[in-house]
Structure 1
Amino acid sequence: MHTSTSYRRTFGSPHPISMSSYAPVSSRMSSSGGRYMRSMSPVVTTRSSTYQQQRSRPTTQSTRVAYDKVDFTLAEAINQEFLTTRSNEKQELQELNDRFASFIEKVRYLEQQNGALQQELNQFKGQQQHGQPNRATDIFQEELRELRHQMDNIGKRGTSIFWRGTTWLRTWACSSRGWYQYDEKEKKKLEDEAQKRADAENNLVAFRKDVDDATLARLELERKIESLMDEIEFLKKLHDEEIQEVQVSVQTQQLKMEVDSSVRPDLTGALRDIRAQYETIALKNMQESEDWYKSKFADLTESAKRNTDSLRQAKQEANESRRQIQSLTCEIDALKNTNEALLRQMREMEDQFGNEIGNYQDNVGRLEDEIRHLKEEMARHLREYQDLLNVKMALDIEIATYRKLLEGEESRITIPINLGMSNHFGDRDFEQTPSTVSKRTVVIKTVETRDGEVVKESRKEKERDSDRTDKDDHDE
């Protein structure tokens, strides 16, 4: 019985990481890498997830009630950040692969140029050997050395980029596996908290809409007040112009009357009557216009008061909405702090449970070793006991044989003594009664065990005298 077997039976088998997601990257790198990518294969060491399973069980059970009331905006932000980082890392890996491919292409191009230059160099060397000197040999040698140096640098850079990409792939695989487990574990709770957050945002949008409506109503009322004030100013100007026109007409008529009075002095009374009549009409018009202006101003004042009350109520509602938003913001901050505290507590509990699981596994292994040792000792004691039973049975058989021999000798000796005594005492009759011997059956059961299991079992039956058996038991 091994520790790993009992551990897998208790906590389940580990879940290996699928490498299908890394196949395109490795195939792309191997296709673009040429001879530098022949030995590349993304190897990701898998670890048993039983620790996370065992660790997540008590944690989720103990903090389930607390998570139902916690806002997981921080976890959602972390998840979003992880997704962004993951996409950025994929893009960076693609760029590295492209750069590496471009380096490989450049190396191939430089190798082709190097081959062409080598051929030209061989031609020039052949010309020199045939007695034709060439002045460009040193230049070609210098360029050849520079190209070789560039090829070496590019090869080194490509190798370093390849190993960096491989290391990044391994790290990314391990981190993505941990984040995937975390996402699977917290997905439902994040959805619930996201729904709560969406409801709060909808309420906030409704409050903002009410505030916007109140602001628009206030602006509309202010616009109406401004238009009414402009209308009042216009009416005042119109009234002043009418008064001026009446005054001008009165003055002209007065001048006409004065001119006519010089000709016709008998019309003075008529002019006075006409002037009084016009003044009365002017006063009447003035009074009517003032009354109309006053009524209009009263209506505008009342409307402004109503609009002011509506605006004040809208401002109060906006302030109340602002206070609610502030209270909700404070509550969100408190929930975020609670979430962070619970996450810290969860990590501490995970570490504690991990240590306890390690101790329990050590104890289980030690107890299994002790059980195996005790089973071995028990089997050894059973074997020793079986050997002792076999020895005892052999000794019992030997003792019974010796006893039968002794009884036969005693009976052979006692028969002549009884005959002599019967002749000597003739007047007495002795009746010899044969001793009754009772027998009983003894069952010997042999059991052979191995590692605590019965391997072989045998049973033997033997008949023995009861008095001998009693004596044997007494002797034992």
Structure 2
Amino acid sequence: MTTCRRQFTSSSSIKGSCGIGGLGGGYGGSFSSSSSFGGALGRIFVGGHGGGLGVCLSGGNGSLLSGNEKITMQNLNERLASYLEKVRALEEANADLEVKICDWYQNQRPRPARDYSPYLKTIEDPRNKIFEATIENTQPLLQIDNTRLAADDFRPKYEHVLALRQGVEAHINGPRRVLDKLTLETLTLRSQTRGDVSVEVDAVPSVDLSHILNEMRDQYEQTADKNRRDAEAWFLSKTEELSKEVTSNSELMQNSRNELNELRRVPRGLEVKLQSQLCMKASLEKSLEETKNRYCLQLAQIQELICSVEEQLAQLRCKMAQQNHEYQILLDVKTQLEQEITTYRCLLEGEDAQ
């Protein structure tokens, strides 16, 4: 709303005051002008924040503004000055924020990935030594197991050979008992013969007992020799059969032992390969776990950095939106002030023209 008041005097002076309601009712304006034939016209424009504009015109014939209008003009000038000061401060803050944003982007650029190849080369030799030591430590265990298996394999063969030996000894003991029995019978017959000879000598002294005894002795000796030869032949035949059986069994056992050794070498080599593969698998799993943990830690750090950057970006967006809003408000205020200034100027030019 615009209100104008004019007064004409005989001294050709012009006095006017004008008030303009602005945004939120916080804008007011007043001007005064005076002119005379021997005076000069002066205009002063002062601006500040607060949505106000002050214009003061004075001539050589004296001030035409009242006391309230002067106070209003002073308030408007102060508000315009504060407005311009705040605009300048916001521009400086925007420049500072732009510098900080540039610095932040320079500092938060993705860094190159670290090269761990020297560390991997350093730990490669100890890892190989540990792997070789593990394989060497498994060798005694494999030998113990193989020895235990060999002992378990030889135990039934030993028991079989022992049974064969006991059988042979039993066969030998049979002829030996027969031989002992025959020896006892021979001794018995000899003792009986001697007794009979004694009796016959006493009964029939005329018979040639020495010849008869020699014949009987020869017969018994022949019989004993025959029995002994038969026993020896039977013993030798049984011993030869047993020796052949033992030899065949020994050859069979040697062949079985060779086959067993060959078969034992196969699982031993497979066991060594299995242990080496297991050790390699364990080392690879450990390396994989370390790599996973390292990359998980790096991902966590990157995620944390991303969250921090997003939070900072959100704060920057909020600040920029707030500053944009304030800047828009200031632009609106500036536009209104420019319109008021244009209106004042038109009014002043109209007063001057009159």
Aligning the two structures, in what range does the TM-score lie when normalised by the shorter sequence?
0.3 to 0.5
Q: Give 1 or 2: higher helix fraction.
A: 1
TM-score normalised according to structure 2 size:
0.41
TM-score normalised according to structure 1 size:
0.32
Higher relative contact order (CA 8 A, sep 6+): 1
Of the two, which has the highest radius of gyration? 2
